[in-house]
Amino acid sequence: EDKVVQSPLSLVVHEGDTVTLNCSYEVTNFRSLLWYKQEKKAPTFLFMLTSSGIEKKSGRLSSILDKKELFSILNITATQTGDSAVYLCAVEATWNKLTFGKGITLSVRP
């Protein structure tokens, strides 16, 4: 059975801090790993990673995948209160099947 484990499950930081969110996985027929942000509604897509060692970057957010060690990290630099959300990691297998982790609840205090 495909498995995705995220850590930590929650964290509280102050504005301006840098955070690293972790995601490890076990899946057959790996196709890609995705990060989503969820703010009390539907998940919104952040990144898709398919190749090891290639960093994806969007503003203050960046992510990298290690296919040998089966994990990914999502970094957020200079955090803002608007970054407060649940961050979901999902692994895609064949036929677009997504297996999600439990999510990491990030709270950014002013």
Partner 1 sequence: EAGVAQSPRYKIIEKRQSVAFWCNPISGHATLYWYQQILGQGPKLLIQFQNNGVVDDSQLPKDRFSAERLKGVDSTLKIQPAKLEDSAVYLCASSSLAGGPAYEQYFGPGTRLTVT
Residues 19 and 61: their CA atoms lie apart, in Å, by 10
How many C-beta neighbours within 10 Å does residue 43 have?
A: 19
Rank residues 13 and 93 by Cβ distance to partner 1 and give the closer one. 93
CB of 5 to partner 1, least distance (A): 11
- Verify binding: residue 19, partner 1, rule CB under 8 A: no
- Verify binding: residue 103, partner 1, rule CB under 8 A: yes
CB of 92 to partner 1, least distance (A): 4
Q: What's the token pair of residue 89?
A: 């990691």
- Angle subtended at Cα 6 by Cα 62 and Cα 103, rounded to the nearest 5 degrees: 85
- Verify binding: residue 31, partner 1, rule CB under 8 A: yes
Q: Which of residues 71-100 bind partner 1 (CB under 8 A)?
A: 88, 90, 92, 95-100
Q: Which of 7, 13, 27, 32 binds partner 1 (CB under 8 A)?
A: 32
**β-pairing verdict for 44-49 and 32-38:** antiparallel
Q: How far is residue 22 from each of residues 36, 49, 72, measured CA to CA in Å? A: 13, 14, 6
| Interaction site with partner 1 (CB under 8 A) | 4, 31-32, 34, 41-45, 48, 88, 90, 92, 95-103
